[in-house]
Structure 1
Amino acid sequence: MEPLPGRRFIDGCVVFNGSKSVFYSGQVLEGKLNFELTSPLHIFAIDAVYLGAANVEWTEVQVETYNRVRRNKQLKYIGREEYFKYTQRLSQGPTVLEAGSHSIPLSYQIPFNCPSSFEGEKGQVKYSVTVYIIHHDGVTTDKIEAPFDVIDPMNLNTGSPDIKNPLVMEFDQMVGCQLFCVSKPLAVSVRLPAQGVCPGQSVPVAVAVRNSASVEITKILFQITTRERFRSQQPQSEYEPPEEVLAALRRGPVLGGASAEYVFPLDVPAFLAPNMEHCTLIDIGYFFKVKIKLSGCNEDMEDEAEICIGLVPLGETDLKNHPMPEKLPIGPLPDPNNQPPYTPSNTRTFTPSQSYQHDVQICPPGPIPYPVVANVADAPIFGSKNSPAGPFEIGFRAPDVSVNPTLPHPVPGYPYPGLPQGQAPPYSGLPQGQAPPYSSLPQGQGSYPTSQPSAPPPY
């Protein structure tokens, strides 16, 4: 941060421990607020605000007719869902920061029910920590923001048992070589060893062909595709962009009258598959597709089935073989069933000035009640968002309000962009008891919440 007139700040930044700005859901985020002052500065407080939220937004053109006159009207679809919004006081009362370098520790335990960071065509899931240095008047602030990414780790070994079961797709068709010849059966069986795979794996695709006809299989196409679906809250609607092909494999031909078995390796691309199970606004699904092209005038055979792309492969307990270790957070996977009490590793006192009795320090360790309940639904209501069909199907359906009437629901006070003329604003006003933004606090009010580092309740 460049020096500001009258504020004397230089090189203000938030640095995460380990120099990586990516964390697992349930992991403790630790870092430091570093800055330099060219001269002493009177401050009222230093607050760190941790925020995780999903936002969706898109615009569609609606055709309206008035007195036989057609006109286009833009309709905006928006939605927001917060997973946490927590304010942590890094100082104790008004004080003076002396000239020189300062480094103030901060920490926060990310809740376990947070979806992965995601950036899509019509929506995203983002996380950030913003530090507000509030001057002695209680109104003037300096803001330092640092985004970070979250990975919600999906362990295929602890998911639904069906993930471990083979995926079998059967194709049967009566085919003939000419228009008036006798049709004969053609059967093709495609088998994956499991319905759950991980990025970087080479999946053996077993194909068994029983062809009693003289028709040739000119090509067999295997694909792994992904689909996204975005849900708005105001007004309620859905948007699904075209699917994307992640991996493809072409094999063939297979001659007519042949009966044979083949095994083809299908490589899953190396990427970080977002886990959106705890997000009700964005779905991401993965599918295994097979298309069999036949010679002559015979119709092609095709089918698809949903698969699960996780983080921890079947039969493994860690990520030592992950193809992208440099993209993963530092440290082991957090276990919600065996989580030790959260205690910040750095609790040293930060003393800015001896002329004041108040010291700026990190809040004392120890859990406090989970500050914000994420706007998520239990898995049985919607199903997992990137799992095979069946009890863990992707869903791709609007939330059932009759089952849970509280979903979907907006977050009041969200500053949505301006709406087109004639479209009512979706939400307005702040919830009862919510503090106004920092810049609107009257001088000397000092009503910012004070609390200790947050930790979700034990599971």
Structure 2
Amino acid sequence: MGLEEFRIIFGNPHKTYYSGETVTGNVFLVLNSPKKIRGIRVRIKGEAHTSWTVRINQHLTRYLGHEEYFSTRYYIAGSESGELELSAGNHEFTFEYALPKDLPSSFESDVGHVRYSIKSTIDRPWKYDHETKDVFKVRFNYDLNTDPRAKQSVTVEESKSFGLFFASPPLTVNFSLPVIGYVPGQSIPIKVNIENESGIPVNSVRITLNKYVTYRQEKSGPDFKTVKTKITEVVNQLEDKDTVSYEQMLKIPPLQNSNLINCGIIDITYILKLKAFVNKLSSADLKMATPILIGTVPLHN
């Protein structure tokens, strides 16, 4: 055909948009000779997909999930029944599309994705069409101030006694957060308190932030797969004291929003866990956890 170059150029060089914004750009092509075509069209769509396999009784069972958020197709030059002659040289054709509001944020993994793409096609009569495709990212603006849960404080406590025949006085550990909503770059102030009357020392305390991604075949369906990832952790070595109180700051690295809002087949949860290691008694370690919310707009206070 004499097509030397065919690509999509986004108006936003970072190719990142918030839901509700308008995606703009150009389809750029270079011809080395004049050519007749029907037209040039674009298809813009957003969708989510999940896929995983499970071995059951020596047989592999595959689970698939799919959601479509929007799909639009239109001609930016010519038409399906028309005829258009393009001269040799460079050509640019503009496209734009207003994204629906409340789209889930883009997400990519080996098990599933939320993906937004644009494909441009040179429609040629009686010949194979030429196509080019690119993806762009969408971010949901999760304002923590609009979620009442984000402002809630939380305290989690566990207590345990030791001894086979006579129970020792209790070992009690708790931690508290002023709120459960944060954004990347902030630090979580975690207050840790240990009241140890058991006589068995606590060697150290480990605090871990984990991400859990749950993939489903369908919204709220019974079949799912959960993948856990450790995000960050901090360990404090403790002196042998009956009472220990301290505040630990845990900085949040760049992370995807919680919940993957408005996606029914992929969900993201963040869990903050504390584990108190009891001297020489691994089975006696105290464990506790609380969910936290990760957004894009921090709480005002």
Same fold (TM over 0.5): yes
Q: In the alignment, which residue of structure 1 is the partner of 2:19?
A: 25
Q: Where do residues 36-435 of structure 1 align in structure 2 (5 Å cutoff)? A: 36-63=30-57, 72-93=58-79, 94-135=83-124, 137=125, 140-159=128-147, 161-175=148-162, 183-233=168-218, 237-256=222-241, 258-273=242-257, 276-297=260-281, 299-315=284-300
Deviations 1:107-165 (A, max 9, x none): 11111232111112321111110011112x26641111111111122111122x12111
What letter matches 1:95 in structure 2?
L
Matches of 1:274 and 1:53 in 2, distance apart? Answer: 19
Shift of 1:296: 4.7
**Structure 2: gaps spanning 5 or more residues:** none
* 1:47–1:87 contact (8 Å) kept in structure 2: yes
Choose between structure 1 and 2: higher strand proportion. 2
8 Å CA contact 1:77–1:237 kept in 2: the answer is no
Q: CA RMSD in A?
A: 2.1
- Can you give the 5+ residue segments of structure 1 that lack an aligned partner in the other structure? 1-6, 64-71, 317-459
Runs of 4+ in 1 over 6 A off after TM superposition: none
| TM-score (normalizing by structure 2) | 0.90
Aligned-partner Cα distance in 2 for 1:292–1:237: 34
* Structure-1 separation of matches of 2:296 and 2:237: 32
Distance 2:106 2:121 in 1: 24
Residue by residue over 1:254-285, the C-alpha shift from the partner in whole angstroms, topping out at 9 and shown as x without a partner, is 424x3242111112122344651211111111
Equivalent residue letter for 1:26: G
Q: Is the 8 A contact 2:202 2:279 kept in 1?
A: yes
**In the aligned structure 2, how far is the partner of 1:34 from the partner of 1:274?**
37
* Kept after mapping to 1: 8 A contact 2:41/2:120: yes
Q: How many angstroms apart in 2 are the aligned matches of 1:242 and 1:46?
A: 42
- Cα distance in 2 for partners of 1:91, 1:229 equals 42
8 Å CA contact 1:44–1:138 kept in 2: the answer is no
What per-residue deviation string (whole Å, max 9, x for no partner) do you get for residues 288-342 of structure 1? 11111222547111111111111112128xxxxxxxxxxxxxxxxxxxxxxxxxx
Alignment of 1:4-23 (within 5 A): 7-23=1-17
Q: Give percent identity, aligned residues only.
A: 27
